[in-house]
Structure 1
Amino acid sequence: MRIGIPANGAFHQFVRLSYDQERNENVVSGGFSIDVFEATLKRLPYNLNYDLVPCYDTYDQMVEQVYYKGFDAAISDIEVYADRFQYVDFSQPYVSSGIQMVVAVEPDKVKEKWMFMKAFTRAMWLQLLFMHLFVCSVVWLIESHHGQNPELKGLGVMLWFTVTVLFFAHRETLKCNLARFVLAPWLVVILVVSACFTASLTTMLTVSQFKPSVTDIATLQRTNAMVGCNGNSFIVRYLVKTLKFKGENVKNISSVDDYPTAFANGKIKAAFFTAPHAEVFLAKYCKGFIKAGPNYKLGGLGFAFPKGSPLAVDFSKAILQVTESGDVEKFEKSMLQALNCTSSLKLGSDPIGPEPFSSLFAISGVIAAIAILITFVNTAAKGVDKLSCGNGFWRWAYIYLIKSSRIYKFHRSRSRPKQNGVALVPI
């Protein structure tokens, strides 16, 4: 079998050729697609004799050569595209694919000014503010109603107390054990939240913040900007017919190494790749470029066979076996790691929401709610005996309900005069 492979592909990581001086021609020396092809051959129920023949035409012309019997098949990073089905049958795709836009990045000045607000989500900030005011208000209410702490009198003092508690710098001494019981778990919450805030903000400050120079295709079309892609692939046709770019605004860039120069010189504002090619480009040139816009789904990368060929079915089954075994993922990972580019680019770490602290918030909130209920009942119990005016129904109902509560009875037993350790009960 004569199997065609592209000799002019922009991404040699998929099919790599080297010059053989003895044979005086280019021969295949490896690549991701070749690794998948060889792994697939091992799972066929028969041996297949073949020769890999370099094709110096475009991908579309190589596919057409299969139709015109110039090749018995074609392998490599061939996109399973609807227009090509009129010439060939495709095997099962071995890698999913789509059209992906890649653009240069620029610093996001707005995010740098308000970066500290991005450490937490809006829901987290609101919940933290509400819980803090609630807990501090409960502490202030307990202390002021007991009348034992003149330092916590007045609304202004309470507001200042809420601020100093955040930094564990409050100088007001809590004299009521119930107030200490409320404040203690909240101080633990503040300690945990502060540590998480510091870690998140430190990460955001030490990692550069960037944003795409172009965010969508509409901007490119509105500004009549130049875009680049591999002229030997179907992407030119896709950009013009499907995405409605002007033909004169699509620049042919034949080598992956020419894209950074084209971006630097301002010749293009964006580049379009298939998704696997975009991964390779960003793995090689990871500093200064980033994906932007949607990913337009396509059929994936597969192998081309003549119409009605049983090899398409056999290869499809074998490719599924290779994929399910994890070999395709291993080959892809090895290809990307070989490019050895470590990027410091990041669009911003994800802000922290309230979910990790929900249990702490719940514990502190429940304790504060119980404390304020106890304070209310104690305060009401103290004031029952001072009700001296009116004989209405609601007054006597209120007195009955308060006096029947256990808290009131406990309060009365503690407040009765004692003689020799025994409380005196009035008759």
Structure 2
Amino acid sequence: FHLVDGQLQPSMYQIVNILDKGLKHVGYWTPTNGIKKKLHQTKESNDDLGAIIWPGDTIFSPKGWEIPTSSESKLRVGVPAGRGFVQFVDVDIDPKTRQVISVTGFCIDIFIAVMDALPYAVTIEFVPFSPSGVTGTAESYKKFFHEFSNGAYDVLAGDITILADRMDTCDFSLPYTEAGFSMVVPIKVDERKSTWIFMRPLETELWITIGAFFIYTGLVVWVVEHRVNKEFRGPPRQQVGTIFWFSFSTLVFAHREKLISNLSRFVVIVWVFVVLVLTSSYTASLTSMLTVQKLQPVYTDIDKIMRNGESVGYQGSSFVYNKLIGIGFDESKLKNYSNFEQYDKALELGSQNGGVSAIVDEIPYLKVFLAKYCTKYTMTGPTYKTAGFGFAFPKGSPLVADVSRAILQVTEVQIRNISNQWFGEPTSCNKPNEAAVTSDRLTLDCFKGLFIIAGLSSTSALLFFLLKFLYEVREMLVSPGSVGQKLASIAKTFDVFKDGESKMATAEAVTDTGFFSSDEGFSTTEPETPVYDTSLVAESTIEIEVIADVTST
């Protein structure tokens, strides 16, 4: 160093860029010429200075030092104030001093949790935004973002939706809520009874399966009984009718045909059990449909509301207003509200009485609304996609990447606890006749096990009969002749009535205490009363009287 009159004189300095592998010369600094590439350079331009290589091998200067981390320099967080949806953002301001007392809400707790999850400490200061005259309107959010773009805030936190037009002036973090907006409508009791309601208890697939099993069971019984039972014989038309009649009559247990073969009895016993379960289930389901009132939404399509010229409500500060205008709604049919109580009152009145037919809002708001009024309203219609809630930062802010990474950590671990704190535990809504809004139709899966049992029983009985019959006609199978001749002979043999087996089966059925009746099936009777010859009794009486007279004389 050099002292003149006791004062330290400025000297020349060399500026170097410190790299991993050493030093890189940048230039020189002198009191007279400032920073120059060369020591005695006199030209004013500094274009020839060496480029600075920053960590990460980049020539662009990092903005990490711009993040305020000390108590003196705080991160100014803009939050919307004066809104009715306090579950999301609630700003308490002292009316006298206009000082912020507290800033709370679901979105604020998420933001604080995200800041705490950053790998470095950030000091924050909440700055409420509530311009007079436009509080709680879409215009207020436009002014909010306008001030933000002018540098009034370092970050925006709250129920701020990520939109494409907003990304022109700022960068957004990843969303931390469910995306999209939909509509909520009242629910009503649907008292309409369909002409074909008796078909509704069973799904089409189940109806077809039941019909197929009826025919298959009747066919198996006919095959087994045809050779030994006169009631399963006759002209072809009569036999086809017998197949259908016997099978479908089991539905009401009205079949009267006596079964002779044990195989067919086994098949029918299993099938009657299946029919019993089916009829019981069908009766219970149909009774429920006819007696229990149905809860249905009044509207399921927003286009129908628009065509009918009915009014729709929306949140005053939401972008949904512009979306509804874009869909085609008339501006006079749109009404803005600022809290859930106003939503409820407007829906109760309806369009005809100065209210609205539906409320269109973002899904996070609608879910909170339905948690409170779930017995009166339901969410319906299509869900229009949005990106959800996020935090807004100035363009190029280094905080965006770190905050987005921290949001992922918070949503994986803490967001459920924060949500339960502000919205309550997610519980099922006890709507009146809630069972009626669910599907009460019976499906094939409900009875798949029964059909498998019935199918195996019928098929095994049929296979056993066929094997036995083929064994009886084994000589025909090995006899000389064409395949057609053999099949014709087998068919004729199958059609031959085996009267002996029929009589034997009938004889086995008749016992001393009962017999088969064509009308009543198996029934019991009392023993017959003995029959006496009255003439013989009279003669014996006369003989006894004559003998008595002779003895007396």
Give the TM-score category using the shorter length: 0.7 to 0.9
Which secondary structure state, in structure 2, belongs to the residue aligned with residue 283 of structure 1? helix
Displacement of 1:85 in angstroms is 0.8
How many residues align? The count is 402
- Find the aligned partners of 1:169 and 1:187 in 2 and give their Cα distance: 11
Relative contact order (C-alpha < 8 Å, sep 6+): which is higher? 1
Work out which of the residue numbers 131, 135, 158 in structure 2 matches 1:76.
158
Listed one character per residue, the Cα deviations across residues 149-204 of structure 1 (whole Å, up to 9, x for unaligned) are 79xx9777766654563466767664422123323443454455456556756776
What is the correspondence of 1:413-424 to structure 2 with a 5 Å cutoff? none
Q: Which residue is 2:174 aligned to? A: 92
> Percent sequence identity over matched residues?
34
Displacement of 1:92 in angstroms is 0.5
Q: Is the 8 A contact 1:209 1:348 kept in 2?
A: no
Q: Which residue is 1:43 aligned to? A: 117
Work out which of the residue numbers 344, 352, 363 in structure 2 matches 1:275.
363
- Find the aligned partners of 2:417 and 2:219 in 1 and give their Cα distance: 58
Which secondary structure state, in structure 2, belongs to the residue aligned with residue 79 of structure 1? coil
Q: Is the 8 A contact 2:169 2:394 kept in 1?
A: yes
Alpha carbons of 1:50 and 1:245: their partners in 2 closer, same or farther (altered >3 Å)? same
Q: Which residue is 1:249 aligned to? A: 333
- Find the aligned partners of 2:280 and 2:155 in 1 and give their Cα distance: 60
Listed one character per residue, the Cα deviations across residues 80-104 of structure 1 (whole Å, up to 9, x for unaligned) are 1111112221110011211201112
Q: Is the 8 A contact 1:100 1:273 kept in 2?
A: yes
Work out which of the residue numbers 353, 364, 389 in structure 1 matches 2:454.
364
Q: Which residue is 1:218 aligned to? A: 303
Which secondary structure state, in structure 1, belongs to the residue aligned with residue 128 of structure 2? strand
Work out which of the residue numbers 319, 330, 349 in structure 1 matches 2:439.
349
Q: Between Structure 1 and Structure 2, which shows a larger proportion of helix residues?
A: 1
Code of the residue aligned with 1:249 in structure 2: it is K
Displacement of 1:297 in angstroms is 0.8
What is the correspondence of 1:52-131 to structure 2 with a 5 Å cutoff? 52-56=126-130, 57=135, 58-110=140-192, 117-131=199-213
Answering whether residue 353 of structure 2 is matched by residue 263 of structure 1, we say no
* Rg larger for: 2
Alpha carbons of 1:195 and 1:234: their partners in 2 closer, same or farther (altered >3 Å)? same
Q: Which residue is 1:182 aligned to? A: 267
Q: Which residue is 2:405 aligned to? A: 317
Code of the residue aligned with 1:286 in structure 2: it is C
Which secondary structure state, in structure 2, belongs to the residue aligned with residue 236 of structure 1? helix
Displacement of 1:251 in angstroms is 0.9
What is the correspondence of 1:133-212 to structure 2 with a 5 Å cutoff? 133-147=215-229, 161-162=246-247, 165-166=250-251, 174-190=259-275, 193=278, 197=282, 208-212=293-297
Q: Is the 8 A contact 2:215 2:247 kept in 1?
A: yes
Alpha carbons of 1:395 and 1:119: their partners in 2 closer, same or farther (altered >3 Å)? closer
Listed one character per residue, the Cα deviations across residues 116-138 of structure 1 (whole Å, up to 9, x for unaligned) are 64433211122123223422443
- Find the aligned partners of 2:485 and 2:448 in 1 and give their Cα distance: 42
Displacement of 1:337 in angstroms is 3.3
Q: Which residue is 1:397 aligned to? A: 486
Answering whether residue 410 of structure 2 is matched by residue 328 of structure 1, we say no
Work out which of the residue numbers 90, 93, 98 in structure 2 matches 1:16.
90
For structure 2, the 5+ residue unaligned runs are 1-74, 233-237, 502-553
Displacement of 1:72 in angstroms is 1.9
Displacement of 1:28 in angstroms is 3.9
Listed one character per residue, the Cα deviations across residues 268-325 of structure 1 (whole Å, up to 9, x for unaligned) are 1111011111111111111221222210111111111222111221110000111223
Q: Is the 8 A contact 1:149 1:174 kept in 2?
A: no
Alpha carbons of 1:158 and 1:215: their partners in 2 closer, same or farther (altered >3 Å)? same
- Find the aligned partners of 1:60 and 1:292 in 2 and give their Cα distance: 30
Q: Which residue is 1:421 aligned to? A: none
Q: Is the 8 A contact 2:228 2:260 kept in 1?
A: no
**Stretch moving more, 340-349 or 304-313:** 340-349
RMSD: 4.0
Displacement of 1:393 in angstroms is 3.8
Alpha carbons of 1:142 and 1:17: their partners in 2 closer, same or farther (altered >3 Å)? farther
- Find the aligned partners of 2:264 and 2:179 in 1 and give their Cα distance: 61
Q: Is the 8 A contact 2:85 2:338 kept in 1?
A: no
Code of the residue aligned with 2:452 in structure 1: it is A
Displacement of 1:34 in angstroms is 2.4
- Find the aligned partners of 1:161 and 1:259 in 2 and give their Cα distance: 62
- Find the aligned partners of 2:488 and 2:445 in 1 and give their Cα distance: 43
- Find the aligned partners of 2:119 and 2:265 in 1 and give their Cα distance: 77
Displacement of 1:205 in angstroms is 6.8
Listed one character per residue, the Cα deviations across residues 299-354 of structure 1 (whole Å, up to 9, x for unaligned) are 111111222111221110000111223x2234335544359753345633263321
Alpha carbons of 1:293 and 1:381: their partners in 2 closer, same or farther (altered >3 Å)? same
Work out which of the residue numbers 16, 28, 31 in structure 1 matches 2:105.
31
- Find the aligned partners of 1:117 and 1:336 in 2 and give their Cα distance: 43
Alpha carbons of 1:268 and 1:362: their partners in 2 closer, same or farther (altered >3 Å)? same
- Find the aligned partners of 2:410 and 2:280 in 1 and give their Cα distance: 46
Which secondary structure state, in structure 1, belongs to the residue aligned with residue 431 of structure 2? coil
Alpha carbons of 1:223 and 1:155: their partners in 2 closer, same or farther (altered >3 Å)? same
- Find the aligned partners of 1:169 and 1:12 in 2 and give their Cα distance: 69
Work out which of the residue numbers 319, 324, 328 in structure 2 matches 1:239.
324
For structure 1, the 5+ residue unaligned runs are 415-427
Q: Which residue is 2:379 aligned to? A: 291
Answering whether residue 389 of structure 2 is matched by residue 301 of structure 1, we say yes
